[in-house]
Each structure stands twice: as structure tokens, then as C-alpha cells.
Chains A and B, each alone.
Chain A
Amino acid sequence: AQKITQTQPGMFVQEKEAVTLDCTYDTSDPSYGLFWYKQPSSGEMIFLIYQGSYDQQNATEGRYSLNFQKARKSANLVISASQLGDSAMYFCAMREPTLTGNQFYFGTGTSLTVIP
């Protein structure tokens, strides 16, 4: 089974509107972390937001918020008030602990296009 699933290969949103990017994950470990990264066309990976498995509240970072539904194993990214600069690939990722370190798994990404 895939560890991270992003079912939306491409999304479009009107400038200034909100958009939700979907992410589901699969783990049996009680201690894990969930991340979202943005990859613009220039190629760099930019950290956006983090949610720990024990965090009670949904994470927020400026215009980004993470809708964490633990029972459903989903960690959707919500971008409010979209801007043209938000056009990029967005990757959901999960950290799972190992005996000595951490394994990281990334989804296949969602390409977001913001329309003026």
C-alpha cells in the first residue's frame, strides 16, 4: 500500500479564493509527522507546514492550514486567499520513526495553478 496518497494530479483555483489539496496516509505507528512542501518551477523544495500525530490542534502557518483528521488518516492542506505565486507542485510527506532514525515518504504531488 502507498504510504502517502495524493489523488489530485492537478488543481486550478481563482486568485484570492481558498483551495484544499488532499492527502491521505497509511501508517500503524502511533508516532509520526506529516509535512507539506511546495516545489515551484525553479525546483527547490520549500517547507510549508508540519503536523505531529499527537498534536491536538490543526497546524496553521500564515495562509496555510492543515486539516488533520486522524481517524480518517487524512492531512489536507488548505491555502487561503490564493496568490499567483502559489502556483507550484505541492507534496505531502510523512515521517515514520525507525529503530535508529526516521523514514520519510512523499506523495506524487499536486500541481496547483492559480488563475488571475
Chain B
Amino acid sequence: DSGVTQTPKHLITATGQRVTLRCSPRSGDLSVYWYQQSLDQGLQFLIQYYNGEERAKGNILERFSAQQFPDLHSELNLSSLELGDSALYFCASSVGGLAKNIQYFGAGTRLSVL
């Protein structure tokens, strides 16, 4: 168990809908990262937050947004969902502020858009 909690484990929804994925980082970790893993795109970095502030952006679509709350949990919001958004979404956390920045991953949320 990595200590990173993601909910829900599975999500099934329809095209055009909006969903929210939740992540609780490991105790003491200030940084949260979101990733999308799909068969055709592999593992893609989406966005990083550190202590509530956005710090780095990767290949995140404009339909997607994220935030990190004062208690350090994070949410990834996906809107106007398309079939191609079906993927495994990972959250990872790290202590942050250090060069090493080892990320520990949650179990992921599997999103199916029908």
C-alpha cells in the first residue's frame, strides 16, 4: 500500500458528462501529480500541485481541471467527456521541494466513457 488513496476505483459515465476524481496524498507529502494512462497514449503527465499551488502542467486538455485543497487532497475534474477520455487516471504524491521527488502512486481510477 503506497499510502495514496484514490476514489472511486471505477467510474462509468456517458459522453458529455462531468466527473470528479479524488486523491488523498501520503501523510506529509505536499506535492500531488495527476496522470492519464491509456493504451494508445501510454502514461501521460497531466498536472502537478504543490501545497495548493499549480506548479507544472503537462498534456492536460482544457476540458480537464484540477485543484489541491488546504488539507492537501486533490481533485481532477473532467468535463464534456468523450469516448477517448476512457483511461486509467493515476494520482501520485511526493514530499516535494526536494530534487529526488520520488512519486508514490495511488491504485488509480478507471474511467469508462460510454
Chain A interface residues toward B at CB < 8 A: 31, 33, 35, 37, 43-47, 50, 52, 91, 95, 98, 100-109
Contacts and interface: CB of A to CB of B under 8 A. Distances in A.
Interface in B14-72: 31, 33, 35, 42-45, 48, 50, 55-56, 58
The size bracket of the interface on B is: 20 to 34
Contacts of B108: 43-45
A100 to B, nearest CB: 5
A43 B107 contact: yes
Contacts of B104: 47
Interface of B: 2, 31, 33, 35, 42-45, 48, 50, 55-56, 58, 88, 90, 92, 99-108, 110
A43 B2 CA distance: 13
Question: In terms of DSSP, what is the predominant structure of the interface of chain B?
Answer: strand
A44 B105 contact: yes
B99 A33 contact: yes
A100 B55 contact: yes
Given A43-B107, A45-B90, A108-B42, A33 B100 contact: yes
Given A100-B56, A108-B42, A47 B88 contact: no
